[in-house]
Structure 1
Amino acid sequence: MDSANHIRRTTGAGPRPMAGPATAGPAQHMGFPRHQAASGAVATASSGALLALFMATIVTPMAFDVGGLRLDLFRLYVMLALLPCLILLATNRKGPFVISDLFMVAFGLLVVATIFAHEGTAKLAYASISGIEYVGGYLVGRVLIRNAGDYRTFIRYFVIALAILTPFALIENVTDNNILADLFPKPDDAGPPDQNEKRLGLYRATSVFPHPILFGVFSSIAVANVYYIYRGRLMRLLPRLGIVLVALFSSLSSAPYLAAGVQGLLILWDKIMRGRWYLLLGIVAFVFVFLSLASNRGPIIIFIETLTLNPRTAWWRVHIWNFGLQNVLENPIFGLGLGDWKRPAWLAETVDNFWLLMAMRHGIPGFAMVAIAILLHIVAIVRTRIENPDIRVVRTAYTVGLVGMIFTLCTVHVWASMAVFVMFYIGAGSFIYTDPGVTAPVAGATPPASAAPSRTGLAFSRFSTEHRRR
């Protein structure tokens, strides 16, 4: 199977953010000073350095055993960042504290509570670090990426990380020798499982992650982002997109390929239909309802069977879904915690579905918090009115990447550094509806005659004589 995640394994991935009155623009309602509106497309130096450090911890597989608890660099980072990030958000120094932030923090507390309810104090340290990974990863993205400039800086570091990892991944494809994993110290029991499986005549590249599929998911998130952010500069786009696609291919995993395919289809739709996302959403909703009524398998089973490259993998995932859902219904409130789940003896203990595993471990309330937070997050993003075309491109890049990731997590679970990165990516898009510079008018643009005077200032030039008060 693609994912080697044990249900007892360290996990991480979780919730997302929402916003206030997005249609009017947060800057018009939150009382931001005018000068802050000019920051909509300029990265901050402090964020850039901390972003670089964060990406370094994600792709550096170094870990230590501290009192029986595995302490990775990414864990240390989010542990140190958690309290400062909470304070910055609570004091509105990094944008307003929005509803999704509340769901995220609540989910982190629920993770600790459900594990404690089942395991007691014996697993309290593990429960705490699990909650910190969820909340901390999200908050790092929420706080460090505050405008489109910060987001572009993040994508630049993302590509650099993949450029460093890809040559070693190709060597691993051919030799099955994971050079990077051998370079860094880690606990004796922290090595990756046996990954000698071959596909297409090549070994699957694990790179710096615990499993090849995680490296594939990591690479797939960059596809739409690189395309949109560099598409106007062909000589920059081609080598960067090439790096991303080669890294993605080296994982030899169907779920990340699915994510890239979904992003490719969305990019094609955007190019042909010039957006019209509500039309696409209507088509998807119609197909979902039609399959629910016309098929005895249902849309979810059809999705799993149709969009998985390996028929055997698809068969396993269908049974995981059926028996996993039964476990959720039998333990709806507190879930299973870290306990084993009921299944036939012939069914492996892995759960290749992040969303399902959230419900299995932390109950329906846990899944509901994640789902509601994501839904509010997406609604806020799409409802935000953006006049600056460059920032609109960044919004499309982020959203297409997010949709691809959501689809992928239906067929794979993520844990360790990849879980933290997933949470970080979710939080990274919050600036679209919490940064006042996003909704500020573009300098030199002529507003409609009926438009009320903006209280947010200009995106780039607040001193233009054209906009001074007379």
Structure 2
Amino acid sequence: MITVLPLIALAYSFLFLPIEVKANFAGFNIYSFRAAILLLAIPAVNRWVRDQPTFGLADILVLVSCLWTMLAFTYRDGFGNGFVRSAAIFIDTFGAYLIARTSIRSFNDVRVFLILLIPGLAFAGGFFALESVSGRLLVRPTFASLFGAAVNYEGGVAQGALHLLTERRLGLLRAYSTFSYPILGGTILASLLPVYLKSGLRGWPLVAGAMACALSFFSVSSAAIVGIAMGLGLIFFDKILPSMRPFNWYFVLGIAGAYGLVVNFLLESGVVGVIGRFTLNPSTAYIRRLQWDYGLQSIEKHPVFGIGFSEYVRADWMTSAIDAHFLFIGIRDGLITPLALLAAFVVIMATIGKRSRFLARHDRDLLIGINFMLAVLLFASMTVTYFSEANIWFMMALGLAASCAHAHRRVRMPAPPMRPQVRPSANAVPHPPGQAERPQP
């Protein structure tokens, strides 16, 4: 239980405290989650050195991705400005990954983490429902009255106070709860639903955890609703696949990949256009497709170091927003950062899928649930940019999964040496009953 407390502390830093809770130090805004990372990073490094966990390919890829961000900013903006701008990004990304990577040692640690996480999820999810049904934002305005309004950033530069935008969909208010934006909080909670359902937990932890995650519906965000449906659909397929031999997950993934390639080459809108049809607001789907078109053009022109926080070339009427995580960091840092991070996801998911086949049923299901969580996050990343606490959870989920990819390894203790059996000589005299044998002189 003690080992997962750093991970719980980091999760609670954004499930209970919104970005209005901050401190300014030497020009840096230190949010609650960033303060937690700064406090927990050094102990995490100590645990890594002490425990010496397996340092795999995925860890190298994540580190390369984060270091390339710093290199890109330093190259574009000079050492001083570039280091300052990229330091916060590095702390948030690799710091969150490292804390998660060193907090999980076994599958039971994951289950303990899920149980201890329930109060935070219930708090955030409960206020999602309360704000949405009541039609009033409650959490963030309350914290803003105590700590001041959050800062609005444009192009990496503070542009005054942030104003919370409200919108109604399906007759409900798009709630913020404790999160920076409805879609971010909705995606965080929705991604955890398949983990709880496949965790092997029983009784109230299973029910409470799953219900808290399902409250992400009240973010009234397409990504959250599709994430819930996707998680449930993946669990359903995992249930019926054993009865559909010789079909398996490799076959399903192959079909999905082939479908994606065909759609991308035959349809003008491509995969992004198909995904956009699942959105609740059709106009946002059209804008997201244009963001991909102009964003890929920007990456093509600046493939190595990107353009940083500069605005990419686009239509005059479009805003500078990018609603796709890997596209955004590709525009910002060049191709190395998103490709290395995406490769880390693929390596971890493939490793988990391969090794889950040799585990007991309840542990196998837990690992499959974690893979489903990563799948939901990757799918949502096509239409969501993970910033603020969502970026923290994105990297925490990756670090947790990386730990689980190696957690089931067991050290085989060498067998004790067998005592040689001495055959009695044919001339040996048998011992009287109960008398011990005496060694020969």
TM-score band, normalised by the shorter chain? 0.7 to 0.9
Q: How many Å apart are 1:188 and its aligned residue?
A: 4.4
The counterpart of 1:114, out of the listed 72, 85, 107, is 72
Where does 1:146-185 land on structure 2 (aligned, <5 Å)?
146-173=105-132, 174-179=134-139, 182-183=142-143, 185=146
Q: RMSD between aligned alpha carbons?
A: 2.4
Residues 225, 109 of structure 1: alpha-carbon distance in 2 compared, 3 angstrom cutoff: same
Read off the aligned partner of 2:170 and give its amino acid letter.
L
* Equivalent residue number for residue 424 of structure 2: none
Asked if 2 retains the 8 angstrom alpha-carbon contact of 1:221 and 1:405, the reply is: yes
2:426 maps to: none
Change (3 A) 1:96 1:238: closer
The 3 A distance-change label for structure 1 pair 175 and 305 is closer
- Given the superposition, is the C-alpha separation of residues 188 and 234 from structure 1 closer, same or farther in structure 2, using an over 3 Å criterion? closer
Q: CA–CA distance in 2 between the matches of 1:104 and 1:187?
A: 35
In 1, Cα distance between equivalents of 2:167 and 2:365: 39
Q: What is the CA-CA distance between 1:298 and the residue it aligns to?
A: 5.9
Q: Percent identity?
A: 22
Structure 2 length-normalised TM = 0.84
Write out per-residue CA displacement over residues 405-425 of structure 1, whole angstroms, 9 at most, x where no aligned residue. Answer: 110011011111221111011
CA-CA distance at 1:80 after TM superposition: 3.1
CA radius of gyration, larger in: 2
Question: Which residue is 1:420 aligned to?
Answer: 392
Aligned equivalents of 2:404, 2:373: Cα separation in 1: 14
What secondary structure sits across from 1:430 in the alignment?
A: helix
1:87-98 equivalent positions in 2, closer than 5 A: 87-89=46-48, 91=49, 93-98=51-56
* Residues 140 and 178 in structure 2, CA contact (< 8 A), matched pair in contact too: yes
Q: 2:276 aligns with which of 305, 308, 312?
A: 305
Moved more, 404-413 or 235-244: 235-244
- With over 3 angstroms needed to count, the CA separation of the structure-2 counterparts of 1:341 and 1:292, relative to structure 1, is closer
Distance 2:261 2:184 in 1: 32
| Structure 1 stretches of at least 4 aligned residues deviating more than 6 Å after TM superposition | none
The offset of 1:373, in angstroms, is 1.5
Residue 189 of structure 1, CA deviation: 4.4
* 1:87 Cα deviation from its structure 2 partner: 4.7
Q: Structure 1 residues 58 and 179, CA, compared in 2 at 3 Å: closer, same or farther?
A: closer
Alignment of 1:4-153 (within 5 A): 45-59=1-15, 60-61=17-18, 62-89=21-48, 91=49, 93-120=51-78, 121-122=80-81, 124-153=83-112
Deviations 1:112-165 (A, max 9, x none): 222233333235323111111110011111100121111112222332212122
Q: Which amino acid aligns with 1:198?
A: R
SS at match of 2:307: coil
Aligned mates of 1:386, 1:394 — CA distance in 2:
13
Summarize the Cα distance change of 1:332–1:187 in structure 2 as closer, same or farther, 3 Å threshold: farther
Q: What is the CA distance between 1:175 and its match in structure 2?
A: 3.4
Correspondence 1:372 to 2:343: yes
Question: 2:425 is matched with which residue?
Answer: none
Of the three residues 176, 200, 203, the one matched with 2:170 is 200
One of 207, 227, 240 as aligned partner of 1:272: 240
Q: Deviations over 1:214-263 (max 9, x none)?
A: 110111111101111257x46654443222212x1110111121222221
**Greater relative CO (CA pairs within 8 A, separation 6+):** 1
Deviates more, 1:217-226 or 1:163-172: 163-172
Query: Which sections of structure 2, spanning at least 5 residues, go unmatched?
Result: 152-160, 419-441
With the length of structure 1 as denominator, give the TM-score of the two structures. Answer: 0.79
Instruction: Answer whether contact 1:94 1:143 (CA < 8 A) is retained.
Output: no
Give the structure 1 partner of residue 432 of structure 2.
none
The answer on 1:355 being equivalent to 2:326 is: yes
Asked whether the equivalents of residues 44 and 99 of structure 2 are also in contact (C-alpha less than 8 Å), the reply is: yes
- Structure 1: which 5+ residue stretches go unaligned? 1-44, 441-454
Does the 8 A contact of 1:64 with 1:70 survive in 2? Answer: yes
Q: 1:469 to 1:192 in 2, by over 3 A?
A: farther
CA, structure 1 residues 405+456, in 2 after alignment: closer, same or farther (shift >3 Å)?
A: same
CA distance in 2, matches of 1:386, 1:193: 51
**222, 227, 231: which one aligns with 1:263:** 231
Q: 1:65 to 1:392 in 2, by over 3 A?
A: same
Amino acid in structure 1 at the alignment position of 2:185: F
In structure 1, what is the Cα distance between the partners aligned to 2:405 and 2:365?
Answer: 14
Query: Quick check: 2:306–2:333 contact (8 Å CA) kept in 1?
Result: yes
- Which letter does structure 1 place at the counterpart of 2:128? A
2:430 alignment counterpart: none
Q: CA deviation at 1:348?
A: 1.6
Q: 2:188 aligns with which of 218, 221, 242?
A: 218
Q: Distance in 2 between matches of 1:335 and 1:317?
A: 20
Secondary structure of 1:245 counterpart: helix
CA pair 192-198 structure 1, distance change in 2 beyond 3 A: farther
Out of 210, 213, 229, which is 2:199 matched to?
229
Contact 1:336–1:360 under 8 Å retained in 2: yes
